[in-house]
């Protein structure tokens, strides 16, 4: 393709079509104050951690406490 050449419609991929699976799922922050990811909290819950342990190990719930309800919900779902 040279400069100024137009791409045909079939040359375009849908958004996300080429997202490499090796990257894993997209980052989901639960605690923005301490940048704690959902998968980190899920791993601690799988180890048997309670809310106090999660707070101690990650800092989650110790800032604005905006993540507390979500973490409590995650704990209830285990």
Average pLDDT of the chain? 85
Q: Is residue 7 a part of any domain in this protein?
A: no
> Is 49 inside a domain boundary?
yes
What domain range includes position 47? 27-76
37 has which bridge partners?
A: 29
Q: 36 - beta bridge partners?
A: 31
Long-range contacts made by residues 9-15, C-beta under 8 angstroms, separation at least 24?
A: none
**Domain count within the chain:** 1
Q: Is 2 a member of any domain?
A: no
Let me know: does 62 contact 32? Beta carbons within 8 Å: no
Question: Predicted confidence band at 57 (pLDDT cuts at 50, 70, 90)?
Answer: very high
Q: What CATH number did the domain enclosing 69 receive?
A: 1.10.10.1100
pTM: 0.69
Q: Using a pLDDT cut of 90, give the percent of the chain over it.
A: 64
Q: Is the predicted pLDDT of residue 5 greater than 90, yes or no?
A: no
């Amino acid at each position: 393709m040279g400069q100024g050449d137009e791409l045909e419609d079939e040359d375009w991929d849908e958004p996300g079509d080429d997202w490499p699976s090796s990257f894993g799922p997209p980052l989901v922050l639960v605690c923005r104050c301490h940048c704690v990811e959902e998968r980190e909290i899920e791993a601690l819950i799988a180890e048997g951690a309670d809310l106090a342990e999660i707070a101690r190990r990650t800092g989650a719930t110790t800032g604005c406490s905006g993540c507390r309800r979500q973490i409590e919900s995650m704990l209830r779902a285990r």
